[in-house]
């Protein structure tokens, strides 16, 4: 990447970048995503094109904000910014945006997950490595593929193989989408894949129909942690690969608090992304008057799934 290209990204309007990252900017201020904030303390200086939080001292420019909020490296954050703002970089061709985004082919995906089978890779990963309870796998209808399989009935893109397929269902069990989790060793294959254009939804919504009034609900960062939490007897849903909480997600949490007096729990992953998700959820909980309990993992474990796998 050339110097002038980086300068170009640094000159992208800071408030516009913040907006694309999901922050609600009002009168040059927003709720700070880097600490539990209830009154907007993140300020934007349009002249300097920077942001600064007067409580936790987070500060920087457009590239810095993108890196911190998405967890991407400098180069990846630059590519993301370039894509989002149609800046052409010499070393980087912007991803081709599909002309029209099609919803997932749910009828076809339904056939793909209708008769769950677990191949050797799937059994090794779920039962030996992660110690997931077979009843959890069966209840969620998790299946696996041994050959690359299209996401649509008429071809591309493909779920890579070998992969697990996780059906995403709504609260009533209706199939919404299918996400793959690659189990192979090929370099450069994304670990998780959704049909392109498909929205990433919360995983495990069926659990909510079994949630009793006043019961605790664990919020996890990924599907595999969610499976571990369910295996431990906890009720859990996953916000997959969460970089940003969507307003619909907050609405769902608010409705649970209303309807079922749900108390929310989280075992934050022991890394920056985990802390960020925790702070985002804490902000959301404050916003809707809900309770979020932070459960601590014992020393030496980076996430709940790792701790769970070491227990049995
Ligand atoms: Zn702050």
Ligand 1: centre distance to CA 40 (Å):
9
Distance CA 274, CA 221 (A): 7
Residues whose CB falls within 8 Å of the CB of residue 294, separated by 6 or more in sequence, listed in order: 265, 266, 268, 278
53 Cα–ligand 1 center, Å: 5
- Annotate 231-266 with b (16+ C-beta within 10 A) or e (fewer): bbebbbbbbbebbbbeeebbebbbebbeeeebebbb
Cα of 252 from ligand 1 centre, angstroms: 25
The DSSP output letter for 8 is: H
pLDDT for position 67? 93
* CA 58–ligand 1 middle distance (angstroms): 6
Output the CA–CA distances (angstroms, integers) from residue 245 to 2, 18, 253, 272, in the order listed: 33, 14, 11, 16
Gap from CA of 37 to ligand 1 centroid (Å): 7
Predicted local distance difference test score (pLDDT) of residue 280: 85
Tell me the CA–centroid distance for residue 100 and ligand 1, in Å: 38
Report the predicted TM-score, pTM, of the whole model to 2 decimal places: 0.69
What was the pLDDT predicted at 199? 66
Q: What is the pLDDT of residue 91?
A: 54
* Beta carbons within 10 angstroms of residue 146's beta carbon: 13
> Cα–Cα distance between 199 and 19 in angstroms, integer?
19
Q: How far is the CA of 239 from the centre of ligand 1 (A)?
A: 23
pLDDT tens digits in sequence order for the chain, 312 residues long: 777 788 889 988 999 999 889 899 999 999 999 998 889 999 999 999 999 999 999 999 999 999 999 888 998 899 888 888 777 766 554 455 555 667 888 999 999 999 999 999 999 999 999 999 999 999 999 999 999 999 988 877 789 999 999 999 988 899 999 999 999 999 888 888 888 766 667 899 999 999 999 999 999 988 999 999 999 999 999 986 545 677 888 899 999 999 999 999 999 988 877 888 888 889 889 989 999 999 999 999 999 999 999 986
Which residue segments constitute the domains of the chain, with CATH numbers given? 3-84 (3.90.580.10), 106-193 (3.90.980.10), 205-311 (3.40.1360.10)
**From the CA of 56, how far away is ligand 1's center (Å)?**
4
The Å distance, Cα 247 to ligand 1 centre, comes to 20
3-state secondary structure of 197: coil
Ligand 1 centroid distance, CA of 246 (Å): 19
């Amino acid at each position: 990447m050339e110097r002038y290209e980086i300068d170009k990204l640094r000159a992208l309007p800071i408030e516009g970048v913040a907006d694309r990252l999901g922050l609600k900017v009002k009168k040059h201020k927003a709720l700070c995503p880097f600490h539990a904030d209830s009154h907007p303390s993140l300020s934007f200086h349009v002249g300097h094109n920077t942001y600064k939080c007067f409580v936790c001292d987070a500060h920087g420019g457009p590239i810095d904000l993108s890196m911190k909020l998405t967890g991407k490296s400098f180069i990846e954050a630059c590519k993301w910014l370039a894509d989002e703002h149609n800046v052409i970089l010499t070393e980087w061709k912007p991803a081709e945006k599909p002309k029209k985004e099609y919803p997932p082919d749910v009828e076809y995906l339904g056939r793909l997950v209708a008769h769950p089978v677990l191949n050797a890779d799937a059994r090794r990963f779920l039962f030996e490595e992660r110690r997931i309870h077979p009843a959890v796998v069966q209840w969620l209808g998790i299946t696996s593929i041994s050959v690359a399989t299209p996401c649509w009935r008429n071809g591309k893109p493909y779920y890579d193989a070998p992969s697990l397929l996780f059906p995403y269902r709504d609260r009533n069990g209706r199939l919404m989408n299918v996400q793959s989790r690659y189990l192979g060793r090929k370099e450069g294959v994304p670990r998780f894949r959704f049909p392109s254009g498909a929205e990433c939804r919360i995983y495990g919504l069926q659990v909510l129909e079994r949630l009793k009034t006043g019961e605790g609900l664990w919020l996890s960062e990924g599907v595999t942690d969610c499976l571990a939490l369910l295996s431990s007897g906890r009720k859990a849903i996953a916000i997959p690969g969460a970089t940003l909480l969507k307003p619909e997600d907050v609405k769902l949490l608010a409705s649970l608090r209303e309807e079922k007096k749900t108390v929310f729990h989280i075992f934050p992953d022991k890394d920056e992304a985990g802390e960020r998700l925790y702070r985002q959820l804490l902000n959301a909980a404050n916003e809707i008057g809900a309770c979020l309990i932070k459960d601590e993992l014992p020393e030496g474990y980076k996430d709940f799934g790792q701790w769970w796998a070491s227990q049995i």
